[in-house]
Structure 1
Amino acid sequence: MPRTETPLTISELTLEPETHLTTATAPTTLNVDEQGRALRGYDAVAYLEAQQAIPGESAWSVSWQGAEWHFSSPENQVKFAENPEKYVPGNGGYCTFGVVLSKKLDGDPTVWLVRNDRLYFFLDEDVKRKFLQDEAGNFERVHNNWPLIANKLPEEL
């Protein structure tokens, strides 16, 4: 499904993030698309188990925390159902660099990394590169900022 949001550059991210926020209806701690899917329908298990971003199928889905989680196989569906906390991305799937800025920006499920067995998403490759320039410092800011913004709507930030 094509996205209607326009990509941000690094300068836009720091100057105008409020114009590109993802609207989550419920729950606010998860980044959910217009259809109520987490990760835009990508398979959360595949990132950790296969090190790939693989689109899921609605035939293999789990409803968890108010979102529909789709999987690429029944095996991945079962793995998630048995231990969802293992596979849920950090920051609820919002852009990790956005959290550095105390914003909830859309995380692209094709732009990701895994650190300490936790999945993280980014708005785009440029934003991911910017984040990685000070990875340790940025992760510290993420861990400090996320508890302060986790239960707020993107529009409130």
Structure 2
Amino acid sequence: MTSTMAFAGDQYVDETGFAVSGYDVVAYFGLDQAAVGSSQPKAVPGQKNITAEYNGAKFAFSSEANKKTFLKNPEKYAPKYDGHCAYGVSKGGKVPGNPHLWRIVDGELYLNITKNVVGFWEEDIPGNITLAEGNWTGIESKAASTSTIPNFSSPAPSN
């Protein structure tokens, strides 16, 4: 990974140049969620030639069908807090969201930054969402995170 970050709007975009590191945000909604305390199934990589723009960022998809689904209602599929870590937002800051550390709650996609943070997030998901929602209005307009996701390597979306 390079140290140069790419940003578009408030959406977190990492070194891949894609939102959610180039993983297909629609595909999460078709995966079976693991129980709290267990690792989630792996995120589905997008294709670099199947993309759509939203919130000033490029999203990649694994299929044209998923791209079409996204374009019908991007707010439903884009991760909460512009792809930033949900627990970080609950604490009042913007740090990157890791596409492999995800959970869908009440039809919304949430990302977290590290496995340790997932543990804190899962101790009280409803309470953390309430805190994050209260904090988001005050930090949403701030610039996207400039940090790299720790201990994370993601190839750019494939062909």
Q: TM-score, normalised by structure 1?
A: 0.79
* Separation in structure 2 between the aligned mates of residue 127 and residue 138 of structure 1, nearest angstrom: 12
CA distance 1:127–1:37, shift in 2 (3 Å): same
Cross-structure match for 1:107:
97
Q: Would you say 1:40 and 2:30 are equivalent positions?
A: no
Give the letter aligned to residue 26 of structure 2.
Answer: V
* Separation in structure 2 between the aligned mates of residue 155 and residue 92 of structure 1, nearest angstrom: 10
Q: Would you say 1:147 and 2:137 are equivalent positions?
A: yes
Cross-structure match for 1:125:
115
Cross-structure match for 2:106:
116
Cross-structure match for 1:26:
8
How many equivalent residue pairs?
137
* Separation in structure 1 between the aligned mates of residue 53 and residue 8 of structure 2, nearest angstrom: 13
How far is 1:98 from its partner?
0.5
Partners of 1:99 and 1:146 within 8 A in 2 = yes
How far is 1:155 from its partner?
6.6
Over the residues paired in the alignment, what is the CA RMSD in angstroms? Answer: 2.2
Once the two structures are aligned, what percentage of the paired residues are identical? 35
**Moved >3 Å (runs of 4+):** none
Q: Aligned runs of 1:34-73 on 2, under 5 Å?
A: 34-51=15-32, 53-73=43-63
How far is 1:102 from its partner?
0.9
Partners of 2:80 and 2:110 within 8 A in 1 = yes
SS at match of 2:14: coil
SS at match of 2:102: strand
- Unpaired runs of 5+ in structure 1? 5-22
More helix by share: 1
* Separation in structure 2 between the aligned mates of residue 73 and residue 62 of structure 1, nearest angstrom: 12
How far is 1:154 from its partner?
4.8
SS at match of 1:44: coil
Using the TM superposition, name which of 68-77 and 43-52 deviates more.
43-52
Using the TM superposition, name which of 115-124 and 46-55 deviates more.
46-55
